[in-house]
Chains A and B, each alone.
Chain A
Amino acid sequence: MQSDIELLTAILDQLIPANPDRAIPGAGQLGLASGLIEATEPTLASAIRALLSEVRAQPGEVSPRLVSRLEKDRPEDFRQLLSAVYMAYYSRPDMREKLGVGAHPVHPKGYPVDREPPELMKRLTAPVRARGPIYRDPTGGAA
């Protein structure tokens, strides 16, 4: 019989699958199951227990179809797990980086974004300025 961690790992890989072409691991491959199994938040812990129990009662391996059934039969528990998996997965700096977002804490370094040159802003805003004022000014005279 599969252990809780093995079973949850299989579910997690269905929730966030891998993309081998870009070397992006699935949520199970990333090893998130052990942390989730040890969750102390009561609602999440209870949801995971209930979902694992439901999976064990089903024949066959964990598949998209089985996970869809979990979602349908135990929607609140499933939602708890799904949110927790998304949080655990995307709080990893290495996963963030694979999606083009910096792995670093955003302070103090942030991101280098150059200010647009004044001539570019002038050119971009020229049609807007050319149309003239667009506000109503009942107390200060019509624009």
Chain B
Amino acid sequence: MSHEPVDVLIIGAGASGAAIAWSLLETRMRILCLEQGGHLPDRDFPSRREDYELARYAEFSCDPNVRRQPQDYPINSNDSCITPVNWNGVGGSTINFLGHWPRMRPSDFRTRTLDGVGEDWPLDYHTLAPFYDMNDANTGVSGLAGNPAYPEYKPPLPPIPIGKLGQTLAQGFNKLGWHWWPSDVAILSEDRDGRQKCVNAGTCDLGCAAGAKGGTNFTYWPILENAGVELRTRSRVREILVDQRTGLASGVLYHGADGQLHEQKAEMVVVACNGIGTPRLLLNSRSGLFPEGLANRSGMVGKNLMFHPLIGVTGVFDEPMLGHEGPMACSILSQEFYESDPSRGFVRGYGLHSGRSTTPMTYALGGYGIDDPIPWGAAHREIMDEIYPYLAGLTIVSEDLPEEENCVTLDPELTDSDGIPAPKITYRLGENTRRMLEHGEARASEVLRAAGARRILSKGDGKVWWRAGWHQMGTCRMGNDPERSVVNSWGRSHDVKNLFIVDGSIFVTAGAVNPTSTIQALALYVGDRIKTNIANLFD
């Protein structure tokens, strides 16, 4: 292994790191990606085992604090009502994400102008649209064109089946005259590029052994490695180094697979470690020039952490809904309550996502992302025999607003296995979000009844799902004002001219949709701007 300087050093082989590497391929620059995890071998996909559900509570948990694999870092979320979830390895969290692929909407980029909250993005939907299209083609996105919730675009593949459950719910939405549409998904409805179409296994969170789900381990990385991008796995970056004379990033220190600390020099550093890992790395990269953490002269690194707080409402129907068959989070999506309406008592909005139901063990233990086992005894028997097969549910996915108090800092004591300080999450639910979730809970119940549910199961306790921290955004946000943002309108640090950030941390607002399609579109956009500005990139 050579430690010769490289042109581009990307930290993180997940959604955004892979996308920007692909964008920069044509420059013929020497690209190296350091990834703290490894490749996931085919034999390790739990869905090939008969007891596949057990993995969800052990080595394949979405929660790194449960998983505790050598490549994971612990996260202190004691001061949060939501704990972050992720995957560390080639593909990043696209390994265990659920593949739901809605785009952000035009209004999401102008929340300050339209609704007086958050901040406007320094770019807009139409600037990103070509990069959404490009990424959809690279990923193999399935969906139905003509969704009236968006400006016109056409997913490259036909939609996946919405199933009996989706058809039933769609009729409920139609009765009420509310919007719904088959979900856009990063899941193949047809064989494509050597990848097998979805077999409706229903366990997307356990990795997709078929390669139908658009994890970058199946989409971008095979192309990138064939094209000569060096992917150095089991390599955990400790800090980004800065030339104290020029103020430019000079490379990184990282713990390699050999257990040794190495220095890797680079002309340009791209951080792609997600909304928790990226601020953690920058805050751990302190120097004389940046005593409060790299690229943090604004003091905004780690601030404005946004999730998508979730609650679920479930209906019990007369016929089996077969909810375990098909992609687990993706059937139909309603955006009826997405845009602001002052009469509702909150600003911005939410989506009603029809996930499918889950497998028996997960249901008995409280559901995906929840640790709250169902009752034992006679009630248990009744629930599993008379309710479980007949379930169809809706998840209320709310837009979180940026608040500086919600943040990522460094834990003073907790570290990973290399002794690197771990992140600490401080997060509380905003009042606007609470009202939104209450509204959504009532609307979800209404539409489930309209669809024919004979009984509604809703906890109504105001508690959001604990393991709902899939979407980590806002902690190194973009902006034109260096006092109020960390990176500029194309992902370059205001403070360090050869340092770029491309993951969800650069989001300015969260929208109320799953973020990965936007994360990758942004990464492709940043790559495009780097290529356009290559002659005077660091000026």
List residues of A whose CB falls within 8 A of some B CB.
14-19, 22, 24, 64, 67, 71, 79, 82-83, 86-87, 89-93, 95-96, 99-101, 103-116, 120-121, 124-125, 127-129, 131-140, 143
**Distance in Å: Cβ of A125 to nearest Cβ of chain B:** 7
Q: Which of B167, B170, B201, B378 is in CB contact (< 8 Å) with A110?
A: B201
- Contact status B199-A127, CB under 8 Å: no
Take A96-B359, A103-B50, A105-B50 as given contacts and tell me if A67 and B107 are in contact as well, using a CB distance cutoff of 8 Å: no
Which chain B residues numbered 186 to 225 have a C-beta less than 8 Å away from chain A? 189, 198-203, 209-210
- Contact status A128-B377, CB under 8 Å: no
Take A86-B365, A113-B326, A128-B181 as given contacts and tell me if A108 and B199 are in contact as well, using a CB distance cutoff of 8 Å: yes
Q: Closest A-chain residue to B56, C-beta based? A: A87
Bound-complex Cα distance A67 to B377 (A): 9
Bound-complex Cα distance A71 to B377 (A): 12
- Contact status A83-B109, CB under 8 Å: no
User: Which residues of B sit under 8 angstroms from A16, Cβ to Cβ?
Assistant: 376, 380-381
Determine whether B384 belongs to the interface, using a CB cutoff of 8 Å to chain A. yes
List residues of B whose CB falls within 8 A of some A CB.
45, 47-54, 57, 105-107, 109-110, 113-114, 124-126, 144, 146, 148-151, 158-163, 167, 170-171, 173-174, 177, 179-182, 189, 198-203, 209-210, 320, 322, 324-326, 335-336, 338-339, 359-361, 364-365, 373, 376-378, 380-381, 384-385, 388-389
- Contact status B325-A113, CB under 8 Å: yes
User: Which residues of A sit under 8 angstroms from B159, Cβ to Cβ?
Assistant: 115-116, 121
Where chain B touches its partner, the secondary structure class is: loop
A-B contact pairs, 8 of them (CB 8 A): A71-B376, A79-B373, A95-B360, A110-B198, A110-B199, A113-B322, A124-B167, A134-B336
User: Which residues of B sit under 8 angstroms from A87, Cβ to Cβ?
Assistant: 53-54, 57, 361, 365
Bound-complex Cα distance A36 to B335 (A): 47
Q: Which of B107, B126, B161, B380 is in CB contact (< 8 Å) with A136?
A: B107
Bound-complex Cα distance A22 to B320 (A): 16
Q: Which of B105, B163, B210, B377 is in CB contact (< 8 Å) with A107?
A: B210
- Contact status B151-A106, CB under 8 Å: no
User: Which residues of A sit under 8 angstroms from B173, Cβ to Cβ?
Assistant: 128
User: Which residues of B sit under 8 angstroms from A139, Cβ to Cβ?
Assistant: 106, 109-110, 124-126
Bound-complex Cα distance A19 to B113 (A): 60
- Contact status B365-A121, CB under 8 Å: no
Take A100-B389, A136-B339 as given contacts and tell me if A107 and B47 are in contact as well, using a CB distance cutoff of 8 Å: yes
- Given A87-B54, A89-B361, A128-B181, 20 additional A-B pairs, CB 8 A: A17-B381, A82-B376, A86-B364, A87-B365, A99-B385, A99-B389, A106-B202, A109-B199, A110-B198, A111-B201, A111-B202, A121-B159, A124-B171, A128-B148, A133-B149, A134-B148, A135-B148, A136-B339, A139-B109, A139-B110
- Contact status A138-B388, CB under 8 Å: no
Bound-complex Cα distance A19 to B381 (A): 7
User: Which residues of B sit under 8 angstroms from A140, Cβ to Cβ?
Assistant: 106, 124-126, 151
Most-contacted residue by chain A among B106, B109, B160, B179 (CB, 10 A): B106
- Contact status B385-A113, CB under 8 Å: no
Bound-complex Cα distance A125 to B183 (A): 13
User: Which residues of B sit under 8 angstroms from A106, Cβ to Cβ?
Assistant: 47, 52, 199, 201-203
Take A79-B373, A91-B361 as given contacts and tell me if A104 and B50 are in contact as well, using a CB distance cutoff of 8 Å: yes
- Contact status B388-A99, CB under 8 Å: yes
- Contact status B200-A107, CB under 8 Å: no
**Distance in Å: Cβ of B245 to nearest Cβ of chain A:** 42
User: Which residues of B sit under 8 angstroms from A127, Cβ to Cβ?
Assistant: 174, 177
User: Which residues of A sit under 8 angstroms from B109, Cβ to Cβ?
Assistant: 139
Bound-complex Cα distance A128 to B148 (A): 8
Most-contacted residue by chain B among A90, A125, A128 (CB, 10 A): A128
Bound-complex Cα distance A111 to B359 (A): 13
